[in-house]
Amino acid sequence: MTGVLGRIVRDWRALSSEQRLAAIAAILLLLSMLLPWYRESDTVVVNGRADKVVDSLNAFSVYSFIEAAIFVVAIGVLALLWARAERKAFHLPGGDGMVILGAGIWVMFLIFYRQFDRPDRHGVNVDVSVNWGIFIAFLLGALLAYAGYRIRAAHVPEPVTDDAPPPPDEPKADEPPPDKPDEGPTVVARRRRPPGDDPFEDQLSFDEPAEYRPPPRR
């Protein structure tokens, strides 16, 4: 038991504040399904006199697609957040924030639709109306959508898979960028020799031949 509680505490600390808000909204949404969502009124005849009986029903007392969809949405959000806390690497279209935002809007739409399509109970004189608990669930759906918006706005990163290439190292602000090899053409400059450094200066030189003059005529 201690190991399970320790793991839950560790996973809770691994979540960001926006993800924790989404987890709280999903948990409260599940608990709100135990509140009185509907009010059932039935007219019975006792001793020849009509009497009205009112009973409260929670979401689990009425089996329909709407209640089942809300339950699946809350469980799905909790499963997603648990996977992120466990560093499970997978990508969802639009990101986690968009998925949770859409889940909250879907819950709000289902509850709003329930105002017009109320549960059908057996009985001729049975009247079913909504109760205060379903409005609490509607507000929690709005809170779940807001948490998804916060996750999307905060750009909470998804866990990286083990085979993903590591990001390139960025140079620090106080360190100059590494020198790149010079890819331009190599220019060779001739070095001028200093005076007196001519190797041919002290070599033997030949005198020019004397100018030839013809002998005078007699």
List the domain boundaries for the chain. 16-154
Q: What pLDDT band is residue 42 in, cutting at 50, 70 and 90?
A: confident
pLDDT at 47: 66
Q: Look at 198 and 138; give whichever has higher pLDDT.
A: 138
Among 97-111, 118-132, 168-182, which stretch is predicted with the lowest mean pLDDT?
168-182
Q: What pLDDT band is residue 3 in, cutting at 50, 70 and 90?
A: confident
Residue 212: pLDDT over 70: no
Q: Look at 41 and 204; give whichever has higher pLDDT.
A: 41
Residue 150: pLDDT over 60: yes
Percent of the chain with pLDDT over 90: 38
**Residue 69's CB: how many other CB atoms inside 10 A?**
14
At 70-110, the pLDDT tens digits run 999 999 999 999 999 988 888 888 899 999 999 999 999 99
Q: Look at 160 and 94; give whichever has higher pLDDT.
A: 94
> Angle at the Cα of 28 (from 26 to 31), degrees rounded to 5?
115
- Model pTM score: 0.68
pLDDT at 79: 95
Which residues pair with residue 51 across a beta bridge?
44
> Angle at the Cα of 17 (from 157 to 149), degrees rounded to 5?
65
Q: What pLDDT band is residue 115 in, cutting at 50, 70 and 90?
A: confident
Specify whether the CB–CB gap between 92 and 76 falls below 8 A: no
pLDDT at 106: 97
Residue 201: pLDDT over 80: no
Specify whether the CB–CB gap between 178 and 134 falls below 8 A: no
Residue 134: pLDDT over 90: yes
Specify whether the CB–CB gap between 30 and 107 falls below 8 A: no
Q: Which amino acid belongs to residue 192?
A: R
pLDDT at 116: 85
CATH architecture group of domain 16-154? Up-down Bundle (1.20)
Average pLDDT score, the chain = 79
